[in-house]
Amino acid sequence: MRLWRKLTIATAAGFILAGAVIFALDTADRVFPPPLEKTGAVSAEVLDADGQLLRAFATPEGRWRLKTTVTDVDPQFMRMLIAYEDRRFYEHHGIDPLAIGRAGLQLVTNGRIVSGASTLSMQVARLIEPRAGRSLSAKILQVIRAVQIERRLSKEEILDLYLTHAPYGGNLEGVRAASLAYFGKEPKRLTVAQAALLVALPQLPERRRPDRNLAAAEAARKRVLKRAAVAEAIGEGEAERAEATLVPATRMQLPALAAHLAEAALRSKPNEREHRTTLKKQIQAGLEATAKSAAMNLRPKLSLAMVMADARTGEIVGEVGSADYFDASRSGWIDMTRVSRSPGSTLKPFIYGLAFEQGLVSQETIIEDRPADFFGYRPRNFDMSYQGDVTVREALQLSLNVPAVRLLDAVNPARLLVRFRRAGVRPILPPNEAPGLAIGLGGVGITLKDLVQLYTALANKGEPVRIGDGVTAKPGKIDGEPLLEPVAVWNVSDILSSVIPPAGAPQRGIAYKTGTSYGYRDAWSVGYDGRYVLGVWVGRPDNGAVPGSTGYGTAAPILFEAFAKSSIASTPLPRPPAGAVRIAQADLPVSQRRFSINASGLLSTSSREQAPQIVYPPEGAHVDLGARSGDLSPLMLKLQGGRAPFRWLANGKPLPDLSRRRINQWMPDGGGYSKLTVIDAMGRAASVGVFID
């Protein structure tokens, strides 16, 4: 026994002497440096806007090795780790003479290895420079490397290396990867039971894998909890309660959200470790859960895509490129948010918005839904039937084709495309064709992303924003003129917010529009509240027909489910702007009671109605312009008919300039009654009396 004791003391002295020698050499010449620059690649990570992990990519050798620092881990885990593995970590310089002596004495006393003497610094040395065997020379090299590492790195940096590279079985390395795989969460907040398991596994990672050997994992965790030093670190009674907690028996998949956008982020900057996006993890998870659920009810070969954007900032907060990225039968690898398709009826709200802005119609204006011929173009309704006389409000809510084309003919298709360009969107026209009336029924190509960008203006009082791509392109407000005036936007939103939701869908206070492209190839639904816009597309990536698939029946239910599962609070639609009011049909000016076009192509209700008519504000209207608060806003003036130029008078006083436009504005001096008059080039006049509130 005395011989064993002498050998133990000699071995410990040898380790200490080796450490002292290498310390002296390393101080003098920095010879034989440790390979700290070759610690192994870490996994690339795609993060959401708040820094939460959306998706990780395995290293080139196929390992899940996520960069981890002390600040990423529960402080209680760190206390348990140091108490169990290296109690004097903050006191020694790479080797612990007391631990070596204790281990040697236990070996002599028990005839077997009871506890090791490896410090965390020595374990890091083994991780960054692995050796196949466990020979004495390998152990001496660990001692040398541990001393060198301590001289080059701070204690926190050494812990960071351990937390990143510690083995946890299979291709899992590091505490973050293990915590995500076994507990489904980041290690920032761990229970005592979870922390104990993560402390125990790196010693024998393959033998103690919970998904392969549950009993060994439980026993190892129990040994950690029973260690006296650990008991001091976790508090009285915690060990017993932790022992009663079940060890997870399965390994979970690491976060794998936003497949298409994550791939795009990696391609854009392949050498970066972290890729920050504008997505919100909670919203993204909700959209993907909706897509997964919806895909189960879709026919084979059908895919779907979704884009949700913040209408105020332009940031994409959620994006789903396909029903299933790995489903080859649905061409899941194709990101359908970026593919140009026919939008069906989803552009109609912008036609109506232009008509409202130009004073051609009001919500209760009567418009005909009957067969019509526009120089050879004969639009028909989706169900091949006609409603006869309907209000403009009903025509948009029912998505009737003929009334939409009538209005587009009046506002001019080219003017509609100009407005789209204000929003940074350029729909694709058929080759060698000028803008035509077919635009109103989907006769252009547009991506889901661009369609959502257009609708952000409706949720943002007419001001368009650029929604970027979620990764590199910067979102933000688009400088220039608005897409539509606020009053026109309010009229559109007021109509769309009253459309009946699909059967079984909750009423969330959103305005939404559906669309179905020619031949049942694309089903669309776009909805918005006062903050977020969500667009949904359903169809075949190969552009094949899907008989029976419609925007209302197929895409709209997904829209409402996605809004619900995205876990965002509903934001009310914007309040009516100054001058916005829904006027009953009986109170409309004569020229706005029925929309029609005479043989000369002029808007009229009869051949005599060519004199100017003030269509806004209506006679006797009370218009809230902020007079009571003292912060007055200008009043929008709109007329129909007459011949330019026009002279406006307010209370008998001419406004400064003649105008050739049928839209003008006037800044009142204060509240109360005012008389507004317009005179056209032929001397014909029209007047209204209004009350400014």
The CATH number that applies at residue 536 is: 3.40.710.10
Mean pLDDT of 175-197: 96
Q: Is the pLDDT of residue 105 over 60?
A: no
Q: Which of 43, 45, 85, 561 is catalytic?
A: 85
3-state helix, strand, coil in the chain (%, to 5): 40, 15, 45
Q: Are residues 10 and 127 in the same domain?
A: no
Q: Which residue segment(s) compose the domain that 685 sits in?
A: 613-692
Residue 307 lies in a domain: no
Q: Are residues 131 and 148 in the same domain?
A: yes
Q: Which of 43, 121, 322, 345 is catalytic?
A: 345
Q: Are residues 127 and 16 in the same domain?
A: no
pLDDT of residue 505: 86
Mean pLDDT of 526-552: 96
| pTM across the whole model | 0.81
Of 684, 582, 579, the C-alpha closest to 638 is 579
What mean pLDDT, rounded, does the chain reach?
88
Q: Is the pLDDT of residue 23 over 70?
A: no
Q: Give the separation between CA 466 and CA 270, rounded to whole angstroms.
A: 25
Q: Is the pLDDT of residue 453 over 80?
A: yes
What's 236's domain CATH number?
Answer: 1.10.3810.10
Residues 6+ apart with CB under 8 A from 198: 77, 168, 175, 178, 179, 187, 190
Structure tokens at 40: 């192994």
Q: Which residue has the higher pLDDT, 662 or 184?
A: 184
345 is catalytic: yes
pLDDT of residue 620: 83
Residue 569 lies in a domain: yes
Q: Are residues 74 and 27 in the same domain?
A: no
In the chain, % of residues over pLDDT 90: 58
pLDDT of residue 157: 94
pLDDT of residue 29: 43
What's 661's domain CATH number?
Answer: 2.60.40
Mean pLDDT of 340-367: 95
Q: Are residues 400 and 472 in the same domain?
A: yes
Residues 6+ apart with CB under 8 A from 355: 361, 392, 407, 410, 411
Strand duo 672-679 + 366-369: pairing:
unpaired
12 three-class SS: helix
pLDDT band at 606 (very low <50, low <70, confident <90, very high): very low
CA distances to 204, 359, 422, 663, 684 from 647, in Å: 90, 17, 29, 12, 11
Q: Give the separation between CA 309 and CA 73, rounded to whole angstroms.
A: 32
Per the CB < 8 A criterion, the answer to whether 264 and 469 are in contact is yes
Q: DSSP of 300-359, one letter per residue?
A: TT-EEEEEEEETTT--EEEEE-SS-TT-GGGTTTS-TTSS-B--TTTTHHHHHHHHHHTT
Residue 577 lies in a domain: yes
CA 431 and chain centroid, separation: 34
Q: Give the separation between CA 141 and CA 135, rounded to whole angstroms.
A: 10
Question: What is the 8-class DSSP label of residue 531?
Answer: S
pLDDT of residue 28: 44
235 three-class SS: coil
Residue 295 lies in a domain: no
Q: Which residue has the higher pLDDT, 682 or 635?
A: 635
pLDDT band at 626 (very low <50, low <70, confident <90, very high): confident
Domain final position from 226, 244, 262: 244
Q: Which residue has the higher pLDDT, 384 or 441?
A: 441
Q: Are residues 118 and 207 in the same domain?
A: yes
- Residue 445, φ and ψ in degrees, nearest 5: -105, 140
pLDDT of residue 20: 61
Residue 127 lies in a domain: yes
Mean pLDDT of 623-652: 84
Per the CB < 8 A criterion, the answer to whether 165 and 123 are in contact is no
Residue 324 lies in a domain: yes
Q: Are residues 353 and 472 in the same domain?
A: yes
Q: Is the pLDDT of residue 81 over 60?
A: yes
Q: Are residues 576 and 622 in the same domain?
A: no
Q: Which residue has the higher pLDDT, 216 or 27?
A: 216
Q: Are residues 460 and 481 in the same domain?
A: yes
526 three-class SS: strand
Torsion sign across C-alpha atoms 203, 207, 212, 213: negative
Of 218, 225, 203, the C-alpha closest to 249 is 218
Per the CB < 8 A criterion, the answer to whether 165 and 173 are in contact is yes
600 is catalytic: no
How many structural domains compose the chain? 4
Structure tokens at 321: 């490129």
Q: Are residues 547 and 686 in the same domain?
A: no
pLDDT band at 602 (very low <50, low <70, confident <90, very high): very low
pLDDT of residue 133: 57
- Whether omega before 574 lies within 30 degrees of 0, making that bond cis, reads no
The three-state (H, E, C) secondary structure of 36-94, written as one string: HHHCCCCCEEEECCCCCEEEEECCCCCCEECCCCHHHCCHHHHHHHHHHHCCCCCCCCC
Q: Are residues 68 and 189 in the same domain?
A: yes
Q: Are residues 361 and 236 in the same domain?
A: no
678 three-class SS: strand
**Residue indicated by tokens 């993560």:** 198
Q: Which residue has the higher pLDDT, 549 or 660?
A: 549
Q: DSSP of 435-450, one letter per residue?
A: --GGGGGT-SBB-HHH
Mean pLDDT of 326-354: 96
What residues does 639 pair with on adjacent strands?
Answer: 614
Residue 476 lies in a domain: yes
Residue 566 lies in a domain: yes
pLDDT of residue 587: 85
Domain final position from 220, 244, 268: 244
